[in-house]
């Protein structure tokens, strides 16, 4: 982690940038690499296992993830990621989101996905993700399309979460 990486404020629901489709990155520059480092530092600080650029107010197709265990870091930085294959088998995993604090829900997704992306040097890469990483990469790519994990759950559960968010937003507005 470069010493120059800085923490960025994390955007929370209901900020409209979280619902926007992010733009592809046309050229990977030092600025892109700096953003990847800043997002990585912000993700670890939160702490979280994934972060997408719209969550730090930047509407570009960039994500970072680390689904490794504490002492076994597995940092992955992706630019313009695309899911190119999904398994027929699905799994149910509990998800949360740094932009929807304190709320979790079980989300059903394909158990395995193949993802193609550019690394921080602009080289095309692909990975096959399983288990937690599969859920994580699908969750983060969703962010680039303005989709949140609450869009994948029942209306009843979603309305419950939305009511709690509205209540918290009202209370913090009153405090300010």
Residue nearest to Ni ion (CB): 97
Q: Is 67 in the site for Ni ion (CB under 5 A)?
A: no
91-110 residues in contact with Ni ion (CB under 5 A) are: 97
Contacts of 58-62 spanning 24+ positions with Cβ under 8 A: 59/17, 59/20, 59/21, 59/22, 59/23, 60/22, 60/23, 60/24, 60/25, 60/35, 61/22, 61/23, 61/24, 61/25, 61/144, 62/22, 62/25, 62/32, 62/35, 62/36
Residue with tokens 């990847």, as numbered in its chain = 36
Q: Is 161 in the site for Ni ion (CB under 5 A)?
A: no
Nearest CB to Ni ion, comparing residues 28 and 56? 56
115-144 residues in contact with Ni ion (CB under 5 A) are: none
Residue with tokens 């913090």, as numbered in its chain = 172
Number of residues counted as binding Ni ion (CB under 5 A)? 1
Q: Is 5 in the site for Ni ion (CB under 5 A)?
A: no
Q: Mark whether 82 is an active-site residue.
A: no
How many H helices and E strands in the chain?
A: 3, 7
**Min. distance of Cβ 17 from Ni ion in angstroms?**
13
**Min. distance of Cβ 21 from Ni ion in angstroms?**
16
Gap between the terminal Cα atoms of the chain: 35
Nearest CB to Ni ion, comparing residues 97 and 111? 97
- What the block records as the tokens of 118 is 């550019």
Which of 27, 95, 112, 140 does the annotation list as catalytic? 140
Nearest CB to Ni ion, comparing residues 79 and 141? 141
Active site residues: 140
Kindly list the residues in this chain that would bind Ni ion in the complex (CB under 5 A).
97
């Amino acid at each position: 982690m470069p010493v120059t990486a800085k923490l960025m404020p994390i955007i929370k629901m209901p900020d409209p940038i979280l619902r926007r489709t992010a733009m592809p990155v046309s050229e990977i520059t030092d600025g892109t690499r700096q953003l990847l480092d800043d997002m990585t530092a912000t993700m670890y600080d939160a702490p979280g296992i994934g972060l997408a650029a719209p969550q730090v107010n930047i509407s570009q197709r960039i994500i970072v993830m680390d689904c490794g265990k504490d002492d076994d870091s597995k940092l992955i930085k992706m630019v313009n990621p695309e899911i190119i294959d999904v398994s027929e088998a699905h799994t149910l995993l509990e998800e949360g989101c740094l932009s929807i604090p304190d709320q979790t829900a079980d989300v059903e997704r394909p158990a395995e996905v193949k993802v193609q992306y550019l690394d921080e040097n602009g080289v095309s890469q692909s990975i096959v993700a399983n288990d937690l990483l599969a859920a994580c990469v699908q969750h983060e790519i969703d962010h680039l399309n303005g989709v949140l994990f609450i869009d994948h759950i029942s209306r009843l559960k979603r309305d419950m979460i939305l009511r709690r968010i509205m209540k918290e937003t009202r209370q913090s507005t009153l405090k300010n």
